[in-house]
Amino acid sequence: MTILDSINATGHSLIKCTHSTTIELTKDDYLTNQGTCILGIKASKACFDLDPALKRKIMKGDKIEVIIKVDDVIDYFYGYGSKNLTLLSKKDLVFRKSDFVCDRTILIKCSKSSSDLNRNLIKKIISSKKQISILFKDNDVYE
């Protein structure tokens, strides 16, 4: 497997990660109580900023593995690209369990939503505003 791109984001005390269908990263530097799907703020990239090689794989509909790491705690999931994705958002990335597509959608048919993520990971993100690393890996080898 090849690492196709990476994103860094920051935790926040208002992060809940209780949404049942999505996970979101945002470049915003604030968070409200309504953002139940948000995993991290101050993201280093949005859909628009992704590496061209990753964008090509997403637009082909490839399966992509997403690894989330905070200190020594790791979680992962996978999702699929689609030719219908535009990857135009300059502010956000949204991973969806559904096949809904908009400018903010990065992957669809994901294996996890924010409520499915490792709760120890979420506790670290909330309690100390830790740096979050998100890696995108090519998953073609395991098809």
Assign 143 a pLDDT band (cuts: 50, 70, 90): very low
Number of domains present in the structure of the chain: 1
User: How far, in Å, CA of 2 to CA of 69, rounded?
Assistant: 17
Q: What angle do CA 29, 35, 36 make, to 5 degrees?
A: 135
Domain with 60 in it: 3-142
DSSP assignment of 81-134: --TT-----SSEEEEESS----TTEEEBS-S--GGGS-HHHHHHHHHH--EEEE
pTM, full prediction: 0.95
Q: What is the CATH number of the domain that holds 39?
A: 2.60.120.630
At 12, the amino acid letter reads H
Residue 1's pLDDT is what? 66
Q: Residue 34: pLDDT above 70? A: yes
Residue 36's alpha-carbon distances to 13, 40, 55, 78, in angstroms, are: 12, 11, 26, 20
User: How far, in Å, CA of 66 to CA of 44, rounded?
Assistant: 16
User: How far, in Å, CA of 30 to CA of 1, rounded?
Assistant: 34
pLDDT tens string 84-140: 999 999 999 999 999 999 999 999 999 999 999 999 999 999 987 789 999 999 976
pLDDT tens string 68-82: 999 999 999 999 999
Residue 141's pLDDT is what? 52
The stretch 12-41 carries a mean pLDDT of 96
User: How far, in Å, CA of 24 to CA of 134, rounded?
Assistant: 12
Are the CB atoms for 19 and 60 separated by under 8 Å? no
pLDDT tens string 4-16: 999 999 999 999 9
